[in-house]
Amino acid sequence: MADRIGVIDYGGGNLQNVLNVLKFLGREGSLVSAPGDLDSVDRLLFPGVGSFGDCVEELDRKKLRDPILEWLGQDRPFFGICLGYQVLFESSVESPGLKGLGFFKGEVVKFSNDLGLKVPHMGWNEVLPKDRNFPLWKDTPDPLHLYFVHSFHPKPADESLINSTTVYGDPFASSVGQGNIFACQFHPERSQDAGLTLVRNFLEG
């Protein structure tokens, strides 16, 4: 029996895109909108667009904070995308005073205009995996280009978590990985074949 896939419903706008990718790969995703919904899934996707503050407030309103932290603490399969990556950290300069999930130590920071960068960072950019043997990178192109749309990015306190880097002005952590937990700043659902390969690897890993 195939693993059941849950997609966290935090009220954001790109949930359907992720559900469509799952369907394209021959899988059905179910929305996780309440704590009990986690009981019926085996793998968890947390896609995200929007603001850090709105997202964590919606998670708290739906009482999903503690169940998600429990899932992560049990090292169950998890794939966070964009905002679903950022909220794993303690805080964000985008939403002062609001607490992220805090599963990883570190802060979400904004790209500096001092470097003459266009913010948001938008479009295709190269992703540099630290360890090509990490399961999710299997069969992805080398060099690997994926699609980004963001003004903020996490700065992990523990650099050993960093799974890939991307250069935009300076290098930043474009993904982290720990056990069965993977989260990234790029959008695999917008990254054509390379992105589909990443999601497929997660579903089959």
Domains and CATH numbers, the chain: 5-204 (3.40.50.880)
Give me the mean pLDDT over the 137-149 stretch.
Answer: 98
CA dihedral 136, 138, 144, 146 (to 10 degrees): -40
Spatial contact of 101 and 68, defined as CB atoms under 8 Å apart: yes
Per annotation, catalytic residue among 55, 82, 153, 184: 82
Q: Is 37 helix (H, G, I), strand (E, B) or coil?
A: helix
Residue 187 among the catalytic residues? yes
pTM over 0.85: yes
Q: Is the pLDDT of residue 82 over 70?
A: yes
Spatial contact of 7 and 42, defined as CB atoms under 8 Å apart: no
Per annotation, catalytic residue among 121, 150, 184, 189: 189
Dump pLDDT digits (tens) for 3-33. 999 999 988 767 899 999 999 999 999 999 9
Residue 82 among the catalytic residues? yes
Give me the mean pLDDT over the 93-112 stretch.
Answer: 97
Residue 121 among the catalytic residues? no
CA end-to-end span of the chain? 14
